[in-house]
A and B are shown apart, each in its own frame.
Chain A
Amino acid sequence: MQRYSGFGLLKHSLSHHENWQRMWRTPTPKPVYDVIVVGGGGHGLATAYYLAKEHGVKNVAVIEKGWLGGGNTARNTTIVRSNYLWDESAHLYEHAMKLWEGLSQDLNYNVMFSQRGVYNLCHTLQDMREAERRVSANRLNGVDGELLDTKQVAEEIPYLDCSKNTRYPIMGATVQRRGGVARHDAVAWGFARAADALGVDLIQNTEVIGFRKENGAVIGVETNKGFIGAKRVGVVTAGNSGHMAKLAGFRLPLESHPLQALVSEPLKPVIDSVIMSNAVHGYISQSDKGDLVIGAGIDSWVGYGQRGSYPVIEHTLQAIVEMFPILSRVRMNRQWGGIVDTTPDACPIISKTPVKNLFFNCGWGTGGFKATPGSGNVFAATLAKGEMHPLAAPFSIDRFYTGALIDEHGAAAVAH
């Protein structure tokens, strides 16, 4: 792999940037791999990268039905934070946060990770109590967090309407200053490039249409281009995980919903952090390009069409205008939907399955982007050893039978 550097940039400028190496190969699938990762989104590519880098498992393929990072990885609103309430999830998301902090150097690829701070607004006394509890819980788990009152919020977010004249006046906020945003495409491309350099085969435009099993263990995947053998298979297919589970012969406690987001026309800098509100239900940040990145809630019905309903967009923009009246006449540029796999307790499923050697990493629902490196890291360890990584162990499918749910509906906040 050609390493990127300032000097390289200078050198390539002499040849008009026409001779850059391709970021990854287009390999022909081998007949058999040690590990096959199904799904070439951020989580899948991160899984392949850490398998090769940390566990020396280099005979790995990532099989993607479309193109790399073309699903939810390219459709989210790029928010990264780790201020979850319960120990299990705080540990997992904080593991991801620590990896985010060194990710650009690690991958030799600028993922544009910007720790600009994530604010969660409180509009009711109950919000304030919950916020105080969550900040305290976060600190005990080594996750940074602060509780702000209205005056501090007004000082830090100048255009936010903190007056008492709103329908739901702002009473305070929590802030995680290490939270922020990262460029989502760059995350997928960075992991893909680094994984490819370590020998991982990235196989695009190949759809998995079944799993071949022998004595209750998976021995490979059937694709639309033929059979590919594998000793272990990890499925990381987000919204389509329920469908993959059906192909493998079991059910998952997942429902797939459309989740929409939208961006405005590019503006001068106006919002320098990420602001989320559970109560009025919207969140907003501004990209480096200048467009406002706005998130909506999920549609309540199951859908796979990668588009949602207009009422959801309208409600979201109502919330944004409630928070930022200054934005009331901004025009929206693009709007899209992704399919998110939600679980009953708003926590992911990283688990063994009834099929031996077949593992699933799914159920990240509305907020999986922030966990990309951490999810890949623990899932890679799981696939390499065949045993659950300690951070992933509480997220097994079994919790829906034992009752050991990890209820993060509060901290999962607005769908994003």
Chain B
Amino acid sequence: MLHIHCPHCGELRSEEEFHAAGQAHIPRPLDPDSCTDVEWGDYMFFRDNPRGIHHELWVHATGCRRYFNVTRNTETYEILETYKIGEQPQVTGKPVVVAKAIEGETV
């Protein structure tokens, strides 16, 4: 079982309290009306699915119910860091393209 440090609660808690919510740092399109089908498809459905370092969004569902980010190794399942929404990961291993936050909005 994973033990996850919730950056909001400041505690190490068991996996059962959390839900994984998929890849982190996906920016919403700035101008949705001008997006092509390909851009919308990419935004909606295409996700990084790396073997190795992965930045993902988790929610502390039965705790503080707030979202945060986790950097985790998908092969060893080791959790390398957890950090709040809006912050950037410290551990990136190989170069990972982390999308930029949209102006006035955090991802």
**Residues of A in contact with B (beta carbons under 8 Å apart):** 240, 242-243, 246, 251-256, 299-305, 309-311, 341, 344, 400-403
Query: Which residues does chain B contribute within 8 Å of A251, judged by CB atoms?
Result: 42, 46, 48
In the complex, A301 Cα to B56 Cα: how many Å?
Answer: 9
A304–B75 CB distance below 8 A: yes
B49 in complex: contacting residue of A255, A300, A402, CB < 8 Å: A255
A304–B19 CB distance below 8 A: no
B56–A252 CB distance below 8 A: no
**Residues of B in contact with A (beta carbons under 8 Å apart):** 1-2, 15-16, 19-20, 22, 37-38, 40-42, 44-51, 54, 56, 72, 74-77
In the complex, A341 Cα to B51 Cα: how many Å?
Answer: 13
Jot down 8 A-B pairs with beta carbons below 8 A, ordered by A: A251-B48, A252-B46, A256-B74, A302-B54, A302-B74, A309-B2, A311-B16, A344-B45
In the complex, A251 Cα to B49 Cα: how many Å?
Answer: 9
What distance in Å separates the Cβ of A226 from its nearest Cβ neighbour in chain B?
Answer: 23
In the complex, A302 Cα to B55 Cα: how many Å?
Answer: 10
B1–A309 CB distance below 8 A: yes
B49–A305 CB distance below 8 A: no
- Considering the complex, give the chain B residue whose CB is closest to the CB of A301: B20
In the complex, A255 Cα to B51 Cα: how many Å?
Answer: 11
B41–A301 CB distance below 8 A: no
Query: Which residues does chain A contribute within 8 Å of B56, judged by CB atoms?
Result: 301-302
A304–B45 CB distance below 8 A: no
In the complex, A310 Cα to B77 Cα: how many Å?
Answer: 14
In the complex, A304 Cα to B22 Cα: how many Å?
Answer: 15
Given A301-B56, A311-B15, answer yes or no on A254-B37 (Cβ-Cβ < 8 Å). no
What distance in Å separates the Cβ of B20 from its nearest Cβ neighbour in chain A?
Answer: 4
B77–A253 CB distance below 8 A: no
In the complex, A252 Cα to B42 Cα: how many Å?
Answer: 9
Query: Which residues does chain B contribute within 8 Å of A240, judged by CB atoms?
Result: 51
Given A309-B2, A401-B41, answer yes or no on A304-B51 (Cβ-Cβ < 8 Å). yes
B47 in complex: contacting residue of A243, A255, A305, CB < 8 Å: A255
Given A302-B56, A305-B77, answer yes or no on A252-B49 (Cβ-Cβ < 8 Å). yes
B22–A309 CB distance below 8 A: no
In the complex, A249 Cα to B20 Cα: how many Å?
Answer: 27
Query: Which residues does chain B contribute within 8 Å of A310, judged by CB atoms?
Result: 1
B47, B49, B72 pick with most chain A CB within 10 angstroms: B49
Q: What would 7 more interface pairs be, CB under 8 Å, given A303-B74, A309-B2?
A: A254-B47, A256-B74, A301-B72, A303-B75, A304-B74, A311-B1, A311-B16
B1–A305 CB distance below 8 A: no
B72–A243 CB distance below 8 A: no
Query: Which residues does chain B contribute within 8 Å of A242, judged by CB atoms?
Result: 49-50
